[in-house]
């Protein structure tokens, strides 16, 4: 389709995969394998979505006006291409980065709480 939509849902779906990784393998295992920091995903997504939206101004159209056309690819043929796809890619990166960043914050909060609980339990054992 040539209209915007799907970037948000795709970002949430991939974030759900990260959540499953956190649950299955733990915080350290997942974070050791993260190649791109979530803040970078957020920045790239926001920049891409804003640039795609502003690009329509260069051609005298309102902000976020989508442009679409068919592109001929060898061996494949005619394929639809739209600027809405790039906008959705930006939304996808933004949602993925924000969701993973919140997940990391929650995971670290639980690690800090567990560490504090262990310190209190250890000091109670020393007193007794």
Is 17 inside a domain boundary?
Answer: yes
What percent of the chain has pLDDT above 70?
93
User: Does residue 91 surpass a pLDDT of 90?
Assistant: yes
In a domain, 22, yes or no: yes
Q: Which domain holds residue 27?
A: 7-127
1 located within any domain: no
In a domain, 37, yes or no: yes
The reply to whether 95 falls in a domain is: yes
Residue 3 has pLDDT above 70, yes or no: no
2 in any annotated domain: no
Count of Cβ atoms closer than 10 Å to residue 49 Cβ: 22
Residue 71, strand partner residues: 79
**Has residue 2 got a pLDDT over 60?**
no
The count of structural domains within the chain is: 1
């Amino acid at each position: 389709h040539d209209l915007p939509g799907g970037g948000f849902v795709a970002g949430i779906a991939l974030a759900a995969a990260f959540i499953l990784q956190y649950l299955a393998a733990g915080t350290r295992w997942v974070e050791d394998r993260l190649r791109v920091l979530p803040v970078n995903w957020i920045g790239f997504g926001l920049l891409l979505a804003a640039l795609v939206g502003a690009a329509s101004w260069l051609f005298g159209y309102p902000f976020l006006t989508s442009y679409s056309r068919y592109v001929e690819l060898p061996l494949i043929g005619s394929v639809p291409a739209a600027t809405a796809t790039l906008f959705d890619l930006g939304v996808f990166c933004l949602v993925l980065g924000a969701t993973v960043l919140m997940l990391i914050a929650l995971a670290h909060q639980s690690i800090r709480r567990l560490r504090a609980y262990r310190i209190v339990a250890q000091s109670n054992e020393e007193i007794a």
